[in-house]
Chains A and B, each alone.
Chain A
Amino acid sequence: ETGVTQTPRHLVMGMTNKKSLKCEQHLGHNAMYWYKQSAKKPLELMFVYSLEERVENNSVPSRFSPECPNSSHLFLHLHTLQPEDSALYLCASSQDPRQSTGELFFGEGSRLTVL
């Protein structure tokens, strides 16, 4: 099993659709993250979960809704998205972020296109 697995790899959706991105980590880590990667912009942190509790929410619009049912799984629920939300969504995990993040282990990303 690879370290961090994301599905789907590619997703095309209309503005009125509801879809979800899934992330699973097999590394025994305690923290999981969602990042957004757009063209010409730095990686943007969206959400951080540490020990299944959300510890960071960087002013992300409510049309993005994260869920972390356990330390190995992370979801990003998408609803009523806008075309500018089209981007690569990267999931990552780290061992213990309480003092510093340490190394992030990224998945391959989910390429989202909103029509």
Chain B
Amino acid sequence: TQLLEQSPQFLSIQEGENLTVYCNSSSVFSSLQWYRQEPGEGPVLLVTVVTGGEVKKLKRLTFQFGDARKDSSLHITAAQPGDTGLYLCADDAGNMLTFGGGTRLMVKP
């Protein structure tokens, strides 16, 4: 059974700071998705990465996929209070997604 570990579990930072969160798998990802879940909402897809070494940018968010496709990172530059939420990674293997435990981020004004 594949295990996805996300770190850190919790992160509290001040507005304007940079941060990186990580997602590591016990086996190779089929393809990797990152979601953000804001309080009181369901998760929303941020990005999908498929190719080892791939880098994708979404405004202040930079997603990297490891060369061996077993790890990924999400870097946020100049965090804002609107970035607050639960960041989830998920492996898309067939007709189901396997999720990590998430990183809960709080950005204080």
Contacts and interface: CB of A to CB of B under 8 A. Distances in A.
A102 interface: yes
A74 to B, nearest CB: 14
A7 to B, nearest CB: 14
A100 B31 contact: yes
A75 interface: no
A99 B31 CA distance: 12
B42 A4 contact: yes
Interface stretch (A11-19, A37-45, A61-69, A77-85): A37-45
B42 A90 contact: yes
Contacts of A4: 42
A35 to B, nearest CB: 8
A50 B4 contact: no
Contacts of B73: none
A50 B99 CA distance: 20
Interface string A43-55: 1010010100001
A105 B4 CA distance: 21
A103 B48 contact: yes
Interface string B12-43: 00000000000000000011010100001111
B94 interface: yes
Interface string A70-108: 000000000000000000001010000111111110111
Contact of B92 (A50, A92, A101): A101
B66 interface: no
A31 interface: yes
A41 to B, nearest CB: 7
A4 B44 CA distance: 12
Contacts of A106: 42-44
5 contacts: A41-B101, A43-B43, A45-B96, A104-B43, A106-B43
List of 6 A-B pairs having minimum Cβ-Cβ separation, nearest first: A106-B42, A43-B99, A97-B95, A42-B101, A42-B99, A103-B45
